[in-house]
Structure formats: structure tokens, C-alpha cells
Amino acid sequence: MPSIYHWLVGICAVSTVWANPMQTRAADYVMPNSTGFRMQHGFETVLVQPFGYDGFRVRAWPYRPPTGNEISFIYDPPLEGFEGEKAHGLDFDTAFNGNRTVAIRNGNMVVRTSGWGGSPGGYRLAFYRVEKDGSETLLTNEYAPLKSVNPRYYFWRGPGSEFSAEFSFRSTPDEQVYGTGTQQDHMVNKKGSVIDLVNFNTHIPTPVFVSNKGYGFVWNMASEGRMEFGALRNKFTAESATVVDYAIVAAERGDYDTLQRRLSALTGRAPTPPEASLGYIQSKLRYENQTEVELLAQSFKDHNIPVSMIVIDYQSWAHQGDWALDPRLWPDVASMAKKVMDLTGAEMMASLWPSVSDKSDNYLELMANGLLSATRSGPGTTDSWNGSYIRNIDSTNPAARQFLWNTLKRNYYDEGIKNFWIDQADGGALGEAYENNGQSTYIESMPFALPNVLYAAGTQLSAGKLYPWAHQQAIEEGFRNATATKMGEACDHISLSRSGYIGSQRFCSMIWSGDTTSVWDTLAVQVASGLSAAATGWGWWTMDAGGFQADPTVPWSANIDTPEYRELYVRWFQWATFLPFMRTHGSRKCDVQHAYTCSNEPWSYGEGNTPIIVSYIQLRYQLKAYLQAVFEQFHQTGRAIMRPLYMDFERTDPQIAKMTQTNVNATTQQYMFGPRLLVTPVMLPNATEWEVYLPRTGQNETKTWTYWWTNQTFAGGQTVTVPAPIAHIPLFHLGKREDIMSGNVF
């Protein structure tokens, strides 16, 4: 537990500024145990509350006050913090009109109001970390240079009371920003990025980040908008809102584990996953029928290859929205699930989409009871697929979530398929905004605007970011009811989602990087994407080993019979071993094409490659104790599983911060997997050796790094070249191998 230092202390005082404008002397605080302050500033009200340990929550609104029941992704009270059992609500104990300076302290963090342009008033917010010597270091403040637009800026687009808002915070050119969900951008440091807060396939923007200055930030908004990380300011936009809500936490500079602990206390801690999910997950686009799946299970048994989960992908139903396997192709689901389990010990997973066609058996009931999303204009259809228009189930509606789960339980869960793939649930449309969704083979990439969908919770503009989160919630609620367990307890089953949002880690749900292309550059992009997911708080992350689909400009892409793709697949598959979840999936081509159902099994990539692929599956199972240990730490404290190099080595190796700032390959394509394994996937064809940067682990560096394949040891703080034949991914470890295999690593 934190020391008495973290007990909440409030003040009403003015600080003394040192010569260094970035540091101030901590004032004597004379009003202890403050619950927060409310500042009235013309038509605007700002509420600031101590929140959790070393953090604050800020809410601001023009004119109409919030009800306290607005959409929120953070816990009140936080999972850890002073008086953690007491909700903060809209409480405060100090009220003023922005005409004086007010400051309150929570642990090692201070928030202070200040004037502007020489004014004595106190209507700008600034956030400081209290250092060990009692001084204060400015982390960020509201961005307000002389004669600029107000850093808290509101405007009204339409006739209603909902407003748009733009909030700006001070940054510096050397600030580094990590997290923000996942984008396909090769970047771990997001400085300089402009990121639209709209979810679509492969793009899961989420306004949670940590800064190398020693703070973490959550833009706790369900609305669409933007994140902008400029040289001098960080700017957050909400397209449609009734209140602006954000939280900020602090830790000692370079202490990213504490930052993740503080953030996860606000946004949620992950449960521990079921054992089956930690093994090898087999999938492709797609297994067509029951016979094919049963033969697949037999093949795994015959090849003596372990497998923990077998997945049935999309179009396995008769109509969109049936949420059931087509009985013409899957006549006896229960016997199939039992046979797969008997042959391999593997569980099964099945795909579901949110879309509902009017041909579905469920359409009329869903429509009659108001459980489908609509649109603000037009006939209410939100997208099209496979020749028909569809509507999406409104997962923001609790009754719709219950209907969905009841249907899944009846048709899958009770028949032995207990894990679910939540596909296409990006919100608004089907997440394929720039395609024609199969309506024509001649017209693609139409620049249609995403529909402004109507949900029970609001519109796509005001609540669209809630939708993928609520879709995960639907499965979570079902799991918990079916297993008589509570959220946060160990998961008996698991879901796989293409989208997510703030706090998605609290669900029994892994997020994957979407439908990527099967080329080398895309492989490289996925590493940075996974590291950004980790900084966002999503430890349950994975991707499609081998990529999802062919790049039409690359003739060999995704063709399992070509040596070029076989090499790429082996390298991609090696890397999958060292992810939170190891899975393969994709639409494969082959020399004898059968629709889109070419093979994607471990024995599909050539006789010479099969032993390599199988060896990594076996290694995955050998790492079981290690995996369980790192997942347990993630559950208990939010400690990241995939760890960008800055997390562990920024304070011991000055080169790490410099390389991360410019997104050098060593920091975007290398990472620690748990506390002991340094992973560096091979990103180019025909490689026989590979350069790896080994970070310094301390001031008195010795030969602390051991190459997994040769047991050769190296000192940190240098780039080394190691042999990397097709069978070997560059892999180093710290400490004894037997400790890693036993899970004795913390």
C-alpha cells in the first residue's frame, strides 16, 4: 500500500516560482482533505477532484450541469486510492469564480489555477509533480499563449444543447507520447501525429497516453473527435458532448510501471485468461462446414501438434443477424465441439458480426423492440454486405446486449462453442468505410461519409466510441452470467475483438490489429502497433500471423505455394510465439485455388518449414509458466506484458530515449516480452543474420544478455549482429533460462 505521503491533502495557496519556470517550491498546504474545487468562469463551470493516487479528474461544461450519469469509462471510485470505497460523484468543498489562485494536492501531484496575460485571476489549470526534495515540476498546463483561443473552447454546431469542444494542453518539442490505441504507422512515439477518433478496420484510436515527462492522461469521452500532438500543444476534440471529462495521473519520471498502475486503477484491470487461450489458436478464412473442422482436428492429432483453440470465421451462418451456425453446413454443433475436444483437447471459437439483414429470423423481433441502431436521416440502414442492406444491433442498449447473448448462448454456448470472435464491431458502419462492401465488383473505395448512427446512448458523433466497447461488454456480461463469476475474476472463456476503447482490458477480450496485408512492411508495422496497445493499457493484444489478405500489388503475397510467402509466414509465425496470444488467421491463395479456402495450417508451408513452425508451437507451450506469471502481474498491477524498451531502460540507457524520440527501428521493432525476454522479429527477406540493440541494464554493465539459440552472452549498450537463419528469431534473455521456464521471474 502507498505510504501516508499519498493521503489526500488540499490547499488554498499561491506558490513561489523559482528561477527555473519548470520548477516551483511546494507551498505550505493549509486546507487538508479537500474533495475538490468548482470554478465558475462565466457560462462555464470546471470541477476538479483528487482521483485515485497521484491524480486528478477534471470535468467542464458550459451552461447546463452534468447529471452524473454521463457515459464514462473510468471507475468512480478508482480501484486504488485514498478512501477508495467512496465514490466522488460531483463532490467538492471549495467554490470560487476564477478570481483567485487555488491549488490542491493529491499524493505527489498538485493542480493549481493561475491567471493569464498578467491577470491575477485563476482560471487556467496547471499540473505539477512534487519531487522528493519538495520542489514541483510542471507536467502540463492548459495551453494559453498571449491572445490565443481559449484552451477550453466550446462551440455549437446544431440546434440542440450538445456542443463541440477543443481542449489544449502545453507540450514541448522534446515530449514523447506513448499509447493512443493502435494505428498502422510504425510509430511508438506519437509526437507529431494527428489521430482521428473514429474506429475502423486496423485503426483503433483511443485517447489514453503516457508521457516521458512522467504523467498519464485519459480523455474520458465517448464522442468522436481528434487527438493532435504538436510541438507546443496537445489538443483533444470532442465532436458532440454535454460535458468534457478527463483524468491525469503522475509518477516519477521514467517509472512507467507506476503510471500504468495509476491508469489501470482508473480504467480497469485485466482478469487472468483461461489456460486454453495461452496456447496455439488455429484459424483461417474460413472453415466451411462441420466435416472440414472435424477433419482438421484429426489432422492435428495425426501430426501430433498441440492446439488449444480452433476458430470458425464469418459467413458460417445463413443470414446476417442469425447468430447461429447454418444447420445445412453444421448439422450437429454439440457433437463437433465434443469431437474436437476429444481429439485435440482444443476449445472452439465462432465469429459473430453486429449486422442484421431483414432476411434474418431475428430481424422482426429486434426491429419491433427498438434494438437495432438507426440513422439520423434516411431509411435507417447503416451499411451493406454481400448484396443486402443491414442494420447493426444497438449494443449500447442493455436489452439488445441481453438479446444478443441469449441468442449466442442458445445457438453456440449451450452446444459447446463457448468463445466468441467479435468481428466488424467498430461502430457506425461495419468498419469498412472506404469500400463498397461487395455491392459491385466495379466500384470500390467510394468516399461515403460514415453514417451518423442513432443509438440508445446517443449519436455516432456523441457516443460512437462507446459502441465497440459495449459490444465487448455484451459478451462479458454473458460470460459472467453463464459462469456465475464477477468482472475481474479469472475468465473461463474469451472473446476476440477487432475494436475496443478506454478500459477494454477489463473484459475477457483480446484485441487484434485487424485485416492486415501479407507483406514484409505490414509485419514491421504490427510490432509498433502492439507496443502502442500496451502503453494504452491493452495487454490482451494479438494479430493475424501471416497477415490477413494478399496485397494485390505483390504477386506472391498470401500464396502458400510460393517460397517468398512461405519465408514471410515463418518469420511472422515465429514472432507470434512472443505475443500475449499466439494465433494465425488469413485468406490464403494457392496454386490450385478453391474459392478463398486455401490452407493455413502448420503443415501448409512446405516440408522444410513444417518442423520450424511446429517447434515454435511447442516452445509456446513450454513458456506456459512464464505466460501465466506475466498475465498475473498484469492482472494485479497493470504491468505491461509487451514492453517497449523505454519502459524498462529509459533510466539506465540514455540511448533508448534518444532512439525512441525519432522512432528508430530498435525502439519500434524490438521489445521486452515480460521481464526477461528481448524479442526482435526479422523484418526482411533472405536474412541470415540480424542486428539487435541490447539496452544497458545498469551503470556497471556486464554480460547480462544471453542469445537464446547459442547461449553466447553480451554486455548491454551496444548493437550486436547475431545469426538468424530461417529457424531462429533473434531472441535474448535476462537471467537463467530455468527461471523463465518455471515462471520464477518476479
**SS percent in the chain: helix, strand, coil, step 5:** 25, 25, 50
The x, y and z cell numbers of residue 489, run together, are 475474476
Q: Which of 515, 544, 648, 653 is catalytic?
A: 515
CB atoms within 10 A of CB 612: 18
**What phi and psi, each to the nearest 5 degrees, are found at residue 475?**
-75, -40
| CB environment 402-429: b (16+ within 10 A), e (fewer) | ebbbebbbebbbebbbbbbbbbbbbbbb
Please name every residue paired with 105 in a beta bridge, in sequence order, or none if there are none. 9, 110
Cα-based torsion angle of the residue sequence 196, 198, 204, 210 in order, rounded to the nearest 10 degrees = 40
Q: Which of 245, 313, 394, 423 is catalytic?
A: 423
Q: Is 423 a catalytic residue?
A: yes
Contact criterion met (CB below 8 Å) for 214 and 263: no
Q: Is 515 a catalytic residue?
A: yes
Cell numbers 470465421 correspond to 313
Beta strands in 508-590 (DSSP E): 509-512, 541-542, 582-583
Q: In the 8-state DSSP scheme, what is residue 507? A: S
**What phi and psi, each to the nearest 5 degrees, are found at residue 89?**
55, -130
451: which residues sit within 8 A by CB, 6+ positions away? Answer: 375, 378, 382, 383, 428, 429, 460
Contact criterion met (CB below 8 Å) for 150 and 159: no
Q: State which H helix or E strand residue 631 sits in.
A: helix 624-637
Q: In the 8-state DSSP scheme, what is residue 420? A: E
The x, y and z cell numbers of residue 101, run together, are 489562485
Q: State which H helix or E strand residue 164 sits in.
A: strand 163-170
Q: What three-state secondary structure class fits 217?
A: strand
The x, y and z cell numbers of residue 355, run together, are 449486422
| CB environment 133-153: b (16+ within 10 A), e (fewer) | eebbbbbbbbbbeeeeebbbe
The x, y and z cell numbers of residue 655, run together, are 540511448
The single-letter code of the amino acid at 555 is P
Distances (CA, A) of 154 to 165, 220, 240, 286, 658: 4, 17, 10, 48, 37
In terms of Cβ atoms closer than 10 Å to its own Cβ (0-12, 13-18, 19+), residue 218 is buried
Nearest to 270 by CA among 473, 479, 503: 503
Provide the edge-to-edge strand list for the sheet that holds 642-643.
642-643, 671-673, 677-679, 731-734, 705-707, 713-714
Number of H helices, E strands in the chain: 15, 42
The residues carrying an active-site annotation are 423, 515
